Amino acid sequence: MLFNVNHNVFLTSRSLAAGLLSLCLGLWPIVVPGQTKNPVPEEKASPLCKAEDFRTMAYSINDVQVREKRALEWLSRYGKECAFKEIELIRANLAVWLGTADTDKVHQTAKELYLAKKPAASTLEVSKNTSTAPVIAPSGSIDTTATKKVKKLANKVDEKTAVSKEYALRESEIAQCLPNEIANWNDGAKDTKMLSPSMVYVYEHQGAPAGVSEDAVFSVLQQAASAWDQCGGQNTVMLKRDFFDNKSIFKIAVQWNDDDKLGTIGLANITKKTLTLSPEAFLNLKKANASRHLMETLQMVVSHEVGHFQGLTAHSRRCVDVLSYYANDAGEKCFIRDNGVMPKNFEYRSLLPTACDIQRCRMANNN
Ligand SMILES: [Zn+2]
């Protein structure tokens, strides 16, 4: 059985499609119905336990449930053959590689395999008493990504605002997309399919403004990535130092620099596959408004830019959408439901993709 990836639907690059397809074919033996009892040729069982293959499998499957199922199948098929280093690597990266398919069941399965393989003090034999086995330093710094928690960024508004009619309207616009509400500024090309069904945002913290931690930006990226997963693709975030490159992985480099003199905080370059954040623009914003919640702004910017990589080029006319902008040079304004007026005391635009952002994206991707 092959992966549930529709190459025609998602992949724009023929060579990438071919690369992924050949990897899939290489990884999974072709199973003819009726031969499912022993699908793995005996002699190939052991060399097939490679963390890298597990990762490629995980990144190739778009559907969360299928991904979980395949992960469990993979672990039961190859897990017992795994060298300790391989299973250690898999276990440490489950959250990153599987995303929401990293369920309790997968977690537990990997943990059992890991504990069964954990070497004792001076030998590489399986330890029977894992509680006294020495801790083996993880190779590289792989576990740092796996242990990062996704933190919810709630809007920081005062109590009065939180109970206001305008704020309630914003919330309902975020949660629900009514018929005919999808509209854009016609300022960009027609929506297209996402660049790839599976993208990895590789974050490099170097050059970030002072006071902005790597953890905070990582968390912002993960929030945006998993929110856009609702469109049907799989967006994963990794730190550059933890990332081992593989040509079959579709990468977007996330970086801080002012080389392009952006003038805005963020820029998605579809051709170069870069998401650039401007330290200068970020610091200017901080200077202009010290009380502003800068990480919320960064969340909004990152969610917006990630949206461009999902195939949405033009900007949304609906003010609340993360892909919106509020007004154009001609003085035309964005729309708020029921002729609502733009509030002055809080940011109306959503921090994460709204129901309309996601619906528009699904329409563009036929999901
Ligand atoms: Zn934009």
Give the pLDDT confidence of 67-124 residue by residue, as tens digits: 899 899 989 888 888 888 888 888 877 877 787 888 888 988 998 888 888 776 543 4
**149 alpha carbon – ligand 1 mean position (Å):** 28
Pair 41, 189 in one domain: no
**301 alpha carbon – ligand 1 mean position (Å):** 9
Pair 223, 361 in one domain: yes
In-domain check, residue 320 = yes
- pLDDT for the residue 120: 66
Pair 176, 248 in one domain: yes
Mark which of 111, 139, 167 sits at the end of a domain: 139
In-domain check, residue 151 = no
- Looking at the chain, the whole-number percentage of residues with pLDDT higher than 70 is 77
What are the angstrom distances between the C-alpha of 305 and each of 41, 50, 64? Answer: 45, 34, 23
Pair 109, 189 in one domain: no
Pair 223, 342 in one domain: yes
Residue with tokens 């960064």: 298
**305 alpha carbon – ligand 1 mean position (Å):** 6
**195 alpha carbon – ligand 1 mean position (Å):** 16
**315 alpha carbon – ligand 1 mean position (Å):** 6
**59 alpha carbon – ligand 1 mean position (Å):** 26
**1 alpha carbon – ligand 1 mean position (Å):** 40
**164 alpha carbon – ligand 1 mean position (Å):** 29
- Looking at the chain, the whole-number percentage of residues with pLDDT higher than 90 is 48
In-domain check, residue 150 = no
In-domain check, residue 84 = yes
Using the predicted structure, report yes or no on whether residue 41 has a pLDDT greater than 80.
no
**100 alpha carbon – ligand 1 mean position (Å):** 27
Q: What is the mean pLDDT of the chain?
A: 79
Q: Distance between CA 73 and CA 175 in Å, rounded?
A: 36
**326 alpha carbon – ligand 1 mean position (Å):** 12
In-domain check, residue 146 = no
Domain that holds residue 103: 7-139
**39 alpha carbon – ligand 1 mean position (Å):** 48
Q: Any idea of the CA torsion for 257, 263, 264, 270, to the nearest 10 degrees? A: -70
Q: Distance between CA 257 and CA 320 in Å, rounded?
A: 28
Pair 282, 351 in one domain: yes
- pLDDT for the residue 207: 97
Q: Distance between CA 284 and CA 286 in Å, rounded?
A: 5
pLDDT digits (tens, 9 = 90+) for 203-231: 999 999 999 999 999 999 999 999 999 99
**224 alpha carbon – ligand 1 mean position (Å):** 14
Using the predicted structure, report yes or no on whether residue 50 has a pLDDT greater than 70.
yes
Pair 336, 237 in one domain: yes
Pair 68, 178 in one domain: no
- pLDDT for the residue 114: 83
Model pTM score: 0.61
**180 alpha carbon – ligand 1 mean position (Å):** 22
In-domain check, residue 153 = no
**351 alpha carbon – ligand 1 mean position (Å):** 14
- pLDDT for the residue 321: 98
In-domain check, residue 1 = no
Pair 300, 242 in one domain: yes
Mean pLDDT within 16-39: 33
**32 alpha carbon – ligand 1 mean position (Å):** 47
Mean pLDDT within 325-341: 94
**187 alpha carbon – ligand 1 mean position (Å):** 10
Pair 265, 360 in one domain: yes
| pLDDT confidence bin for 46, thresholds 50/70/90 | low
Pair 359, 269 in one domain: yes
Count structural domains, the chain: 2
**308 alpha carbon – ligand 1 mean position (Å):** 7
Mark which of 105, 139, 173 sits at the end of a domain: 139
- pLDDT for the residue 261: 72
**262 alpha carbon – ligand 1 mean position (Å):** 12
**139 alpha carbon – ligand 1 mean position (Å):** 39
- pLDDT for the residue 143: 33
Using the predicted structure, report yes or no on whether residue 302 has a pLDDT greater than 80.
yes
In-domain check, residue 88 = yes
What is the three-state SS of the chain? Answer: CCCCCCHHHHCCCHHHHHHHHHHHHHHCCCCCCCCCCCCCCHHHCCCCCCHHHHHHHHHHCCCHHHHHHHHHHHHHHHHHHCCHHHHHHHHHHHHHHHHHHCCHHHHHHHHHHHHHHCECCCCCCECCCCCCCCCCCCCCCCHHHHCCCCCCCCCCCCHHHHCCHHHHHHHHHHHCCCCCCCCECCCCCCCCCCCCCEEEEEECCCCCCCCCCHHHHHHHHHHHHHHHHHHCCEEEEEEHHHCCCCCCCEEEEEEECCCCCCCCCEEEECCCCEEEECHHHHHHHHHHCCCCCHHHHHHHHHHHHHHHHCCCCCCECECCCCCECCECCCCCECECHHHCCCCCCCCCCCCCCCHHHHHHHHHHHCC
pLDDT digits (tens, 9 = 90+) for 345-361: 889 999 999 999 999 99
**306 alpha carbon – ligand 1 mean position (Å):** 9
| pLDDT confidence bin for 3, thresholds 50/70/90 | very low
pLDDT digits (tens, 9 = 90+) for 148-181: 344 445 667 888 888 899 999 999 999 999 999 9
Mark which of 139, 170, 189 sits at the end of a domain: 139
Pair 67, 170 in one domain: no
